[in-house]
Amino acid sequence: MSSHTVLTGFGERGRQVVGAMYEPQLQFLAVLDIDLTCAGGISRCGARSVIGNGADVVALREAGVPHAGRVIVTASDDMVALRVLTRDPEDLVLVERAVLAHEVGKHLSEWAPHVLDAVHSNGHRWRDQSEPHVLSAGDLLLELCTEPA
């Protein structure tokens, strides 16, 4: 799989993301979650299920993150999101990220330059070069609900 979307977390927010996607998009989605009971629901949606922790490089590789077009982190804990987003750039390539939160969390704001350094060192660019691409839950769902051209 390449140029696909990797979603870390299939909790309430992760299910919202999957529910907002069009059926053809789901075949290009890999969902990473530690809960084995989520696997059936993910598969029934038409997405690929990967059991593992989003902060684990091996699980991220299995989900195809190095070849992904987008990584969506739905962790409600900023520190968990940071662990996913600040992996060693040699191990993980991030093209774009969206953190589902009502506001950008304090820790993400503080660590944003480190996340940018990791991404820029891999030669990838953000939509907005001045800061990480962070979407509110509503903005992300609106973007996902826009039917692909």
- Tens of pLDDT, residue by residue, the chain (149 residues): 677 888 888 888 788 888 877 777 888 888 888 888 888 888 888 889 999 887 777 888 888 877 777 778 776 655 666 666 655 444 333 333 444 443 344 444 454 454 444 444 433 333 333 444 444 555 555 555 555 54
Structure confidence at residue 130 (pLDDT): 41
What fold characterizes domain 5-145?
Rossmann fold (3.40.50)
What are φ and ψ of residue 107, in 5° steps? -65, -40
Q: List the chain domain ranges.
A: 5-145
Q: What is the pTM assigned to this prediction? A: 0.61
Q: How many CB atoms lie within 10 A of CB 89?
A: 15
Q: What pLDDT does 20 receive?
A: 78
